[in-house]
Structure 1
Amino acid sequence: MSSMIHSARASYAFFERNWNLTKRYWAWEVVWLFYNVVNALSITFIARATPDLKPAQVNYMILYLLIGTSVWTYLSVTFDGVTDVINIERWEGTIEHTFMAPISRFTHMVGSCWYAIAHGLLFTALQLVVVVLFFHLDLSHANYLTVVFMLLLGSISFIGFGIATSVLPLLYTEKGMQMSFIVRAIILLVSGVYYPVTVLPGWMQPLSWLSPATYVLNGLRLGLLYDKPLWSLEIWANIWPYSSLVLLAFRWAC
């Protein structure tokens, strides 16, 4: 019991440490928040600019694009919340002390990952608040239980991508950060963030099946646009492939 309490306190210490790093570099937080909000507005205004759409179709298209931009913001912030800590610690000169601390890597990972999730949810919520102020959205067909469940489920894979990619700056000091952006770009291309994966070339569509983000986006859109309950076959048709990919990834990592 005492060891569990010690691990919990140590995890919270990393959570607090990352929060202090965020406060130290607060100007970057403002810059990225502004960028994410403007990016979301720029994309969702495409629905307003599309000609010959009825009001219901405009609302559908705005929500479709908004789901994509919100999930992408959440994925990017949680992704960076894990990978950027490595770079920040290198700048601060504390990375050696962190790895030499008498705690398990699992404890270190839990604290950093929980902070990344909280950070990503806060960024995404602020973005949604601003975007909703610009658009009158009809959410009468939304199933919020499905939306929350799929978002929490998606956090597992997003954190997994972040952990896997955070190794790159350690292996490749000069080019590791750039390589992490390539991973994000591939996920953006094949996961159907802003369009259905069916519009991709035939040879590229199998890549979307390997991206957990594809199933998270499908589940969120089914819940938010079509009021699909959590126990519906359509939702579970996305949960099962997603869960299989996550289990295979954990087995490979172990």
Structure 2
Amino acid sequence: MTTAAAASGSPLTRVAALVLRHWYILRGSWLRILELAYWPAVQMVMWGFLSEFLARQTSYVAQAFGVLLSGMLLWDVLVRGQLGLSISFLEEMWSRNLGHLFASPLRPIEFAAGIVTMSLIRTVVGMVPVTILTIAFFGFSIYSLGWPLLVFFFALQMFGWGVGLAISGMVLRKGLGAETFAWAAVFILLPVSGVYYPIAVLPAWLQPVAWALPPAYVFEGMRAVLANHAVRPELLAGALALSVVYLVLGFGCFMWLFNGARRKGLLSTQGE
């Protein structure tokens, strides 16, 4: 092994170094840590009390108490997955650090793996306390979904990562003027994701659009477990398969835009 190769370390070492950098940034500010759980907690309280009200008014929600709470929590898994990745990327943009990173042996795929890992950490740090608060406030545990919860979680995370990578590539290529898309990207999908209502409620022409997205399978599967105590394997398989497709497409988009930015010399000029 040459001296240069030894100094560069293994791909796993470089990914771990990038994750450690962002972990230090996160750990160094209690406000950043608080923010991870703040919005999920606010939404949990709001939707929790709304669920309690509806449970006294309608038989559907009374039969499946927690549908709205579970929908909110799982939707936030998607939002946190996409935002966690985008924020880790934007931290490098804001600090003008991209040029330094890619002057090192760090490769784009390792950079992507690093911010994906950090997104997962951010999601877990933000969501676990909120699920505990849900039990304390309302006596409802999303863990009652059982093992399908793992499928729902990773399907939503992978879809969020795919969207986040595509948006990160666009911000890299177009500059921080496109930063707004990082904050709003997944919310445009909320009406067709079936978070709080079945996909059958949508107009017939819009339903194929919904079924082309992984969240539709996740939330339909969630309602099947809560309302009918039934696990639908076809929904779990559809959610995972589509999420993998979108993750691959998102990474491909990121690489295409990254290579374009590198050819134009944009990696060292981006920042606040």
TM normalised by structure 2 equals: 0.78
Residue 251 of structure 1 and its aligned partner are, at CA, apart by: 6.1
Coordinate RMSD, CA, aligned: 3.0
Contact 1:78 1:116 in 2 (8 A): yes
Residue 143 of structure 1 and its aligned partner are, at CA, apart by: 4.9
Contact 2:151 2:240 in 1 (8 A): no
1:78 to 54, 63, 81: 81
Mapped pair 1:52 → 2:54: no
**1:157 alignment partner, SS class:** helix
Q: Per-residue displacement from partner, 1:76-106 (whole Å, max 9, x unpaired)?
A: 2221121112221122221211122212211
Correspondence 1:51-130 to 2 at 5 A: 51-53=56-58, 57-58=61-62, 60-61=64-65, 63-130=66-133
Q: Go from structure 1 to structure 2 and tell me whether the alpha carbon gap of 1:89 and 1:41 turns closer, same or farther (over 3 Å shift).
A: same
Q: Go from structure 1 to structure 2 and tell me whether the alpha carbon gap of 1:224 and 1:125 turns closer, same or farther (over 3 Å shift).
A: farther
Separation in structure 2 between the aligned mates of residue 143 and residue 179 of structure 1, nearest angstrom: 32
One-letter amino acid of the counterpart of residue 40, structure 2: N
Separation in structure 2 between the aligned mates of residue 139 and residue 125 of structure 1, nearest angstrom: 11
Contact 2:70 2:142 in 1 (8 A): no
Q: Per-residue displacement from partner, 1:220-242 (whole Å, max 9, x unpaired)?
A: 3334554435xxxx222441365
Contact 2:81 2:123 in 1 (8 A): yes
Aligned to 1:131: 134
Separation in structure 2 between the aligned mates of residue 167 and residue 251 of structure 1, nearest angstrom: 12
Contact 1:146 1:228 in 2 (8 A): no
Q: Which runs of 5+ in 2 are unaligned?
A: 254-272
Q: Which runs of 5+ in 1 are unaligned?
A: none
Residue 244 of structure 1 and its aligned partner are, at CA, apart by: 4.6
Separation in structure 1 between the aligned mates of residue 38 and residue 150 of structure 2, nearest angstrom: 25
2:234 to 236, 240, 245: 236
Separation in structure 2 between the aligned mates of residue 241 and residue 28 of structure 1, nearest angstrom: 31
Q: Go from structure 1 to structure 2 and tell me whether the alpha carbon gap of 1:138 and 1:223 turns closer, same or farther (over 3 Å shift).
A: same
Separation in structure 2 between the aligned mates of residue 237 and residue 69 of structure 1, nearest angstrom: 19
Identity value in percent: 20
Q: Per-residue displacement from partner, 1:200-237 (whole Å, max 9, x unpaired)?
A: 233322221121111122233334554435xxxx2224
**2:10 alignment partner, SS class:** helix
Correspondence 1:190-229 to 2 at 5 A: 190-229=192-231
Separation in structure 2 between the aligned mates of residue 67 and residue 10 of structure 1, nearest angstrom: 37
Correspondence 1:169-180 to 2 at 5 A: 169-180=171-182
TM normalised by structure 1 equals: 0.83
Residue 139 of structure 1 and its aligned partner are, at CA, apart by: 7.7
Q: Go from structure 1 to structure 2 and tell me whether the alpha carbon gap of 1:110 and 1:225 turns closer, same or farther (over 3 Å shift).
A: farther
1:144 to 146, 169, 192: 146
Q: Go from structure 1 to structure 2 and tell me whether the alpha carbon gap of 1:39 and 1:241 turns closer, same or farther (over 3 Å shift).
A: closer
Residue 150 of structure 1 and its aligned partner are, at CA, apart by: 2.9
One-letter amino acid of the counterpart of residue 92, structure 1: S
**1:129 alignment partner, SS class:** helix
2:186 to 184, 187, 193: 184
**2:33 alignment partner, SS class:** helix
Aligned to 1:246: 244
Aligned to 1:29: 33
Separation in structure 2 between the aligned mates of residue 237 and residue 119 of structure 1, nearest angstrom: 27
Q: Go from structure 1 to structure 2 and tell me whether the alpha carbon gap of 1:198 and 1:178 turns closer, same or farther (over 3 Å shift).
A: same
**2:185 alignment partner, SS class:** helix
Residue 138 of structure 1 and its aligned partner are, at CA, apart by: 7.6
Which aligned runs of 4 or more in structure 1 are off by greater than 4 angstroms? none
Separation in structure 1 between the aligned mates of residue 77 and residue 28 of structure 2, nearest angstrom: 22
One-letter amino acid of the counterpart of residue 52, structure 1: Q
Separation in structure 1 between the aligned mates of residue 17 and residue 63 of structure 2, nearest angstrom: 44
